Amino acid sequence: MKQLPQTERTALRRLPKRGTYDRESIYAILDEALLCHVGFIVEAQPYVIPTGFVRVEDRLFLHGSKASRMLKALKDGVEACVTVTLLDGLVLARSAFHHSMNYRSVVVFGKASSVEDDKGKMAVLRAFSEHMIPNRWDEVREPNQNELNATLVVSLPLDEASAKIRVGPPVDDEEDYALSVWAGVLPLRVMTQEAINDPRLPEEIQLPASVGNYNRANEKP
Ligand SMILES: Cc1cc2nc3c(=O)[nH]c(=O)nc-3n(C[C@H](O)[C@H](O)[C@H](O)COP(=O)(O)OP(=O)(O)OC[C@H]3O[C@@H](n4cnc5c(N)ncnc54)[C@H](O)[C@@H]3O)c2cc1C
């Protein structure tokens, strides 16, 4: 299914023209982002927890300690809402009111299920690693049985989701275009800086290509 169905929960009310339910657009945002925020309610208390994630095919995976309240709640089938935001720029208008941001964001609703078998867990952990830094997995020690046992992996289906995208210059009130005020967009992006050796790294170990060539900015459209 190329387009996700628009549901009562995912129907955009404000500026719906910025919304899309196109699976390809939603997946492109998910695949570029490194972190998400997971919203859920436990005993009438809402929580919104930032964490890493990865998309594999039509599911979004989260992982962490078995002691995590978030993961335990998700495993138990609580309704969850996951958001992902890529900030692309500050939109600087002639009036304070029309200042905005350029962004690409996704909201996902659903109930998670857990990945129980070790082989499935290992595949997801590898996908996490590849999502964070391609080719790193093959350079490092794989998780051992104790580490696997201590890790909870859950996934949500990407069946009910929306994306919202703002691009372009500010939109000022017509009469404000006559003001002598600078207006435009200040682009922002996530960039790598020079890698810092671990203080306990033996001198003879060189920086691997996976780290040396890493540049998230290259992934931007
Ligand atoms: C970086 C950034 C800055 C923003 N700044 C502002 C701001 O200052 N003020 C402001 O009012 N809004 C801002 N927004 C937009 C905000 O996210 C909401 O879209 C908006 O406030 C509410 O729209 P709504 O009433 O249609 O959504 P709601 O009625 O609250 O949501 C209905 C459904 O629309 C979908 N939806 C809503 N927003 C998004 C989204 N951003 N991405 C994907 N799906 C979405 C969801 O499925 C949601 O359940 C910002 C967004 C981003 C990413």
At 1 the pLDDT is 74
Work out the pLDDT band at 217, boundaries 50, 70, 90. low
3 state SS of 103: strand
Nearest CA to ligand 1 atom 23: 14
Nearest CA to ligand 1 atom 11: 14
Instruction: Name the residue type at position 85.
Output: T
Atom of ligand 1 nearest to the CA of 16: 26
For 1, counting Cβ atoms within 10 Å of its Cβ (0-12 exposed, 13-18 middle, 19+ buried), the class is: exposed
Q: Which helix (DSSP H) or strand (DSSP E) does residue 165 occupy?
A: strand 160-166
| pLDDT tens-digit series, residues 151-196 | 999 999 999 999 999 999 999 999 999 999 999 999 999 989 999 9
Confirm whether pTM is higher than 0.75: yes
With the most atoms of ligand 1 within 8 angstroms of its CB, the residue from 7, 8, 10, 14 to mutate is 14
Work out the pLDDT band at 215, boundaries 50, 70, 90. confident
The answer to whether the CB of 183 falls within 8 A of the CB of 170 is: yes
Residue 220, pLDDT > 70, answer no
User: CA geometry: angle at 37 spanning 111 and 211, to 5°?
Assistant: 115
Quote the CA–CA distance of 103 and 110 in Å, as a whole number: 23
Atom of ligand 1 nearest to the CA of 106: 43
Compute the distance from residue 12 Cα to the ligand 1 centre, in Å: 8
Compute the distance from residue 195 Cα to the ligand 1 centre, in Å: 35
Ligand 1 and 103: CB distance under 6 A: yes
Please compute, for residue 37, the number of CA atoms within 13 A of its CA located in the half-sphere on the CB side: 11
- Cα distances (angstroms) measured from residue 146 to each of 9, 118, 149, 215: 40, 11, 5, 33
The answer to whether the CB of 114 falls within 8 A of the CB of 14 is: no
For 216, counting Cβ atoms within 10 Å of its Cβ (0-12 exposed, 13-18 middle, 19+ buried), the class is: middle
Please compute, for residue 203, the number of CA atoms within 13 A of its CA located in the half-sphere on the CB side: 0
Phi then psi dihedrals of residue 114, to 5 deg? -95, 155
DSSP state of 138: G
At 13 the pLDDT is 87
What is the number of other CB atoms lying within 10 angstroms of the CB of residue 130? 15
Ligand 1 and 63: CB distance under 6 A: no
Compute the distance from residue 158 Cα to the ligand 1 centre, in Å: 19
Among 41-50, 172-181, 187-196, 211-220, which stretch is predicted with the lowest mean pLDDT?
211-220
Compute the distance from residue 8 Cα to the ligand 1 centre, in Å: 15
Work out the pLDDT band at 14, boundaries 50, 70, 90. confident
Ligand 1 and 14: CB distance under 6 A: yes
Work out the pLDDT band at 221, boundaries 50, 70, 90. very low
Compute the distance from residue 15 Cα to the ligand 1 centre, in Å: 9
Strand 151-157 to 113-114 pairing: antiparallel
The answer to whether the CB of 19 falls within 8 A of the CB of 162 is: yes
Residue 9, pLDDT > 60, answer yes
Residue 16, pLDDT > 90, answer no
Phi then psi dihedrals of residue 219, to 5 deg? -85, -10
3 state SS of 174: helix
Residue 68, pLDDT > 60, answer yes
| pLDDT tens-digit series, residues 98-147 | 999 999 999 999 999 999 999 999 999 999 999 999 999 999 999 999 99
